């Protein structure tokens, strides 16, 4: 039986304005960050229901003001994997990366986009 994965979209806020992104200025204005209490209630409830892994997404989850508290709570509750989907910009700070690791972050998926139409041509054959 596959493990249950919980996905939480923390926000619509972002520290970039990528041309290809679905997250338009209009969406950003209309939608607010989830509060720490909203996220905490969801995490507690879903952990009781047997969810094992937590995926944090956004907008850009690294700009959420309570990100480290959320990661720490998930770790304390026993989530096996805590994964962040990010543009990676905040990870240019060693201090931020260390805080995330110490809080309990286990995985990070970083989106990388380039200016070339077909980036696969850059890969070895």
Segment 14-70, tens digit of pLDDT: 888 777 767 766 777 777 899 999 999 999 999 999 999 999 998 899 999 999 999
pLDDT at 29: 76
In angstroms, the CA 88 to CA 92 distance is 7
Return the pLDDT at 112.
76
Tell which CATH architecture fits domain 7-14+24-112.
Answer: 2-Layer Sandwich (3.30)
Q: Please, what is the average pLDDT of the chain?
A: 88
Domain boundaries, the chain: 7-14+24-112
The C-alpha atoms of residue 40 and residue 36 are separated, in whole angstroms, by 6
Phi first, then psi, for residue 44 (nearest 5°) are -60, -50
Query: What sign does the dihedral 109-110-111-113 (CA atoms) show?
Result: negative
- Close Cβ partners of 74 (under 8 Å, ≥ 6 residues apart): 43, 54, 82, 104
Confidence check: pLDDT of 71 > 80: yes
* Residue 119 pLDDT: 53
Range scoring the smallest mean pLDDT among 1-5, 46-50, 68-72, 77-81: 1-5
pLDDT of residue 88: 92
């Amino acid at each position: 039986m596959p493990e249950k994965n919980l996905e939480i979209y923390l926000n619509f806020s972002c520290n970039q304005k990528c041309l290809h992104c679905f997250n338009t200025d209009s969406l950003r204005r209309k939608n607010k960050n989830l509060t720490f209490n909203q996220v905490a209630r969801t995490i507690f409830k879903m952990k009781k229901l047997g969810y094992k892994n937590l995926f944090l997404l956004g907008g850009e989850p690294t700009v959420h003001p309570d990100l480290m508290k959320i990661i720490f709570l998930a770790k304390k509750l026993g989530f096996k994997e805590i994964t962040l989907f990010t543009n990676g910009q905040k990870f240019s700070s060693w201090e931020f990366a260390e805080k995330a690791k110490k809080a309990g972050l286990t995985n990070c998926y970083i989106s990388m986009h380039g200016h070339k139409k077909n980036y696969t041509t850059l890969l070895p054959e």
